[in-house]
């Protein structure tokens, strides 16, 4: 979403419709959430205990983590440097020329982009907002069930139905 918002600011005519899911660039991330996630990453980098990764993944998925996803995250933690810089917040002035309809969907349990922060700001940011919704039971990283529900919800919209 953060990249999409930069595109919308620079080339709004290139966008026919937009769906921003668990979106960066709309509202600030709560500091406590960022610190908790960074602690899991840094803890794992320091002592390589799987529990740090599982805890981080549990926060992001909102449930019991899939073992393959935990292992993939552990590999990413070992092989990457933490980037703590989030996309900057978009402004109404930047998006004034965006005429495409916009849908914003937040995860009910997303620790980074919380619905109570994202949805009101989306209403203020996009005069062409067609929907600002919360995916019940979903977090930042979508489970297969959440991904299926999302696809069902946005499929008709992306095909042209408002």
Per-residue H/E/C for 35-75: HHHHHHHHHHHHHCCHHHHHHHHHHHHCCCCCHHHHHHHHH
Average pLDDT over residues 37-50: 85
- The answer, yes or no, to whether residue 84 has pLDDT greater than 70, is no
Q: What is the pTM of this model?
A: 0.85
Question: What is the structure's pLDDT at 121?
Answer: 95
Give CA separation, 81 vs 15, 84, 85, 131, in Å: 32, 9, 12, 36
What does DSSP assign to residue 104?
A: E
Question: What is the structure's pLDDT at 79?
Answer: 81
- The answer, yes or no, to whether residue 101 has pLDDT greater than 70, is yes
CB 107 within 8 A of CB 1: no
Average pLDDT, the chain: 89
Q: How many separate helices (H) and strands (E) can be counted in the chain?
A: 6, 3
């Amino acid at each position: 979403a953060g990249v999409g918002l930069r595109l919308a600011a620079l080339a709004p005519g290139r966008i026919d419709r937009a769906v921003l899911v668990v979106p960066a660039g709309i509202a600030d991330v709560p500091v406590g959430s960022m610190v908790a996630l960074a602690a899991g990453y840094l803890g794992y980098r320091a002592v390589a205990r799987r529990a740090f990764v599982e805890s981080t993944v549990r926060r992001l998925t909102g449930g019991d983590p899939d073992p393959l996803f935990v292992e993939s995250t552990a590999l990413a933690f070992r092989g990457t440097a933490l980037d703590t810089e989030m996309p900057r917040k978009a402004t109404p002035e930047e998006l004034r020329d965006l005429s495409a309809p916009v849908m914003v969907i937040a995860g009910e349990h997303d620790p980074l982009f919380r619905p109570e922060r994202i949805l009101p700001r989306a209403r203020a940011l996009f005069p062409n907002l067609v929907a600002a919704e919360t995916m019940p039971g979903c977090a930042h990283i979508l489970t297969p069930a959440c991904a299926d529900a999302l696809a069902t919800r946005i499929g008709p919209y992306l095909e042209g139905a408002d």
